[in-house]
Amino acid sequence: MKFFIDTANVEDIKKANDMGVICGVTTNPSLIAKEGRNFEEVIAEIASIVDGPISGEVKATTVDAEGMIAEGREIAKIHPNMVVKIPMTVEGLKACKVLTEEGIKTNVTLIFTAAQALLAARAGATYVSPFLGRLDDISVRGVDLISEISEIFNVAGLDTEIICASVRNPIHVTDCALAGADIATVPYGVIEQMTKHPLTTEGIAKFQADYKAVFGE
């Protein structure tokens, strides 16, 4: 399973990129709004940092296929690595089909059932984004959805990739890797949490103390 970072914050993107662990970025309208910056400007800056797929979502207020298609074409022009993120609706599926036929990569988002994922894949989506954490929030096991989609795509021979989204903690990451996700898109805070273990911290402190006791600073 590969890692994308789920943010529009360029400082966090630079830190994760320097760690060498990410190969793509996902954003959404909430994450863009949080930065309070012009969409095209922030997306272009992200694309200059990470050499991999960058998901930029159509405007949250655009609900018709024609509007999503027009915006998707503009997003695709920002950089060759752009992926157009489209909400899982009837209009979104129509837009996905047209953009796919034009050779534009798509990420169908807000997936909460395997049936939605299957529809998106059949409409030609490059990626589907099932939201693990938001299902857990309502006491539905999000990881079960990832397993179901993975099994269905394998049985049907679909090459649409599964991006596990709404990842909230390191256990989510290992759960979705075991469930067959191709990619997990992870906020920087969770990537940092994943690096840590109390025994690692304790071990470093002991190595330092033992070394200093004999050799000094």
Please tell me the distance from the alpha carbon of residue 100 to that of residue 94, in angstroms, as a whole number.
10
In the complex, the smallest distance separating the C-beta of residue 137 from ligand E4P, rounded to whole angstroms, is 8
Among the listed residues 115, 74, 113, 108, the one whose alpha carbon sits nearest the alpha carbon of residue 91: 108
Which H or E element spans position 3? strand 2-6
> Closer CB to ligand E4P, residue 105 or residue 202?
105
> Closer CB to ligand E4P, residue 129 or residue 150?
129
Q: Has 94 been annotated as catalytic? A: no
DSSP state string for 42-96: HHHHHHHH--S-EEEEPPTT--SHHHHHHHHHHHHHH-TTEEEEEESSHHHHHHH
In the complex, the smallest distance separating the C-beta of residue 66 from ligand E4P, rounded to whole angstroms, is 24
Mark 135-174 as b/e (b = at least 16 C-beta within 10 Å): bbeeeeebbebbbbbbeebeeeebebbbbbbbbbebebbe
Q: Which residue shows structure tokens 């209009």?
A: 91
In the complex, the smallest distance separating the C-beta of residue 109 from ligand E4P, rounded to whole angstroms, is 6
> Closer CB to ligand E4P, residue 116 or residue 166?
166
Residues near ligand E4P (CB under 6 A), total:
11
> Closer CB to ligand E4P, residue 114 or residue 212?
114
Mark residues 156-195: x for contact with ligand E4P by CB under 6 A, - for none: ---------xx------------------x----------
Query: Should residue 6 be labelled a site residue for ligand E4P when binding is judged by CB under 6 A?
Result: yes
Q: Give first-to-last CA distance, the chain, whole Å.
A: 41
Exactly one of 9, 17, 26, 62 binds ligand E4P (CB under 6 A); that residue is: 26
Catalytic residue (choose from 14, 34, 59, 85): 85
> Closer CB to ligand E4P, residue 179 or residue 209?
179
Mark residues 116-135: x for contact with ligand E4P by CB under 6 A, - for none: -------------x-x-xx-
Strand 82-87 to 127-130 pairing: unpaired
Torsion sign (Cα): 76, 21, 18, 5: positive
The residues of the shown chain that bind ligand E4P, judged by CB under 6 A, are: 6, 26, 28, 109, 129, 131, 133-134, 165-166, 185
Catalytic residue ranges = 85
